[in-house]
């Protein structure tokens, strides 16, 4: 028998706070969509930096998936700047 816990996602394993976990999941999903669009368009880091109005080191952090370095609103802005549509659904 194993004493290892089972989690629905890596985010659930990293933090006990369900609000922080949900925020990280949302940021992760946005980051994946943004980086996919950058790759689809064949943008290099310099072109991406110009398009998103950020520094090349920030693009590097984005492409490396450093979710903790980006706020949710920043990632929404990046998505819009890349022509992606972001929708929000709130449920009780």
Q: Where are the domains of the chain?
A: 11-81
Q: pLDDT per residue over 49-70, tens digit each?
A: 999 999 999 999 999 999 999 9
Give the mean pLDDT of 87-92.
88
Residue 76 has pLDDT above 90, yes or no: yes
Residues 6+ positions from 17 with CB-CB distance below 8 Å: none
pLDDT of residue 38: 98
17 vs 52: CA distance, rounded Å: 31
Classify domain 11-81 by CATH architecture.
Answer: Orthogonal Bundle (1.10)
């Amino acid at each position: 028998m194993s004493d290892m816990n089972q989690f629905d996602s890596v985010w659930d394993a990293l933090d006990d706070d369900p609000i922080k976990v949900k925020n990280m999941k949302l940021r992760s999903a946005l980051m994946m969509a943004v980086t996919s669009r950058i790759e689809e368009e064949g943008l290099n880091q310099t072109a991406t930096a110009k398009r998103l109005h950020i520094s090349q080191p920030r693009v590097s952090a984005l492409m490396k998936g450093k979710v903790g370095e980006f706020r949710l609103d920043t990632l929404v802005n990046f998505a819009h700047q890349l022509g992606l549509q972001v929708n929000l659904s709130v449920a009780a």
